[in-house]
Amino acid sequence: MLEQYKTIYEGGIGEIIEKKSRFLAEVRLVESEEEALRFIEEKKKQYWDATHNCYAYVIGKRREVVRCSDDGEPQGTAGRPMLDVLLGEDLYNTAVVVTRYFGGTLLGTGGLVRAYSKAVQAGLAASRVITKYHGILTEIGVDYTGVGKLQYLFAQNQVPVMDSQYAENVKMQVLLPDKEIEQVKKAVTEATNARASVTDIKELYFAVSEGEYLLFDD
């Protein structure tokens, strides 16, 4: 289990032009090799008239599956540079297809490497990339005398409160990253003189993107 990892939330399409050759890079989240292969086949059918449809993908929490293809370009000038960008950005469960329409001018080995690398970077720039953090959704129960102390504690420690229920007592659901779980639970106990109840609801991954908290069950 990874404590945190980068991946794609929303894929995107980037485009660059090099000496009249057009390079279209489409990035997508894939969580299995089957998904990656379907995505690649989809792009090959969509861009059936292209000169090349090169690809790269990395799949698995330990990157168990790593593949790339030059699709007819000189060996090592397309797929591997594309894969190197994904690995260099420390991405997981990500696939990219770069479609090339030849513009009539040869780019040479170095030119191809640079073009395919730049295309992937453009595709990633057009995508929504997130960092997922592993943690626990935890419910804190407390009487009304302790609410203010906990609200202050959570605000000071930037602990997100996902939900609050006010009845006979107050129940707050908070997100705790792995590295902060014990520290925050201890602080809750101290702040309320051990009067608060602390109940773990479930383990999950979460991310913060564009000011929004995103929750994932993986």
Contact 72, 88 (CB under 8 A): no
* 18: phi then psi, degrees, rounded to nearest 5: -130, 115
**Residue pLDDT, tens place only, 84-124:** 999 999 999 999 999 999 998 889 999 999 999 999 999 99
Residue 218 has pLDDT above 80, yes or no: no
184 — pLDDT class (breaks 50, 70, 90): very high
Contact 101, 17 (CB under 8 A): no
1 — pLDDT class (breaks 50, 70, 90): confident
pLDDT (0 to 100) of residue 211: 87
Please identify which residue in the block is written with the tokens 């102390």: 149
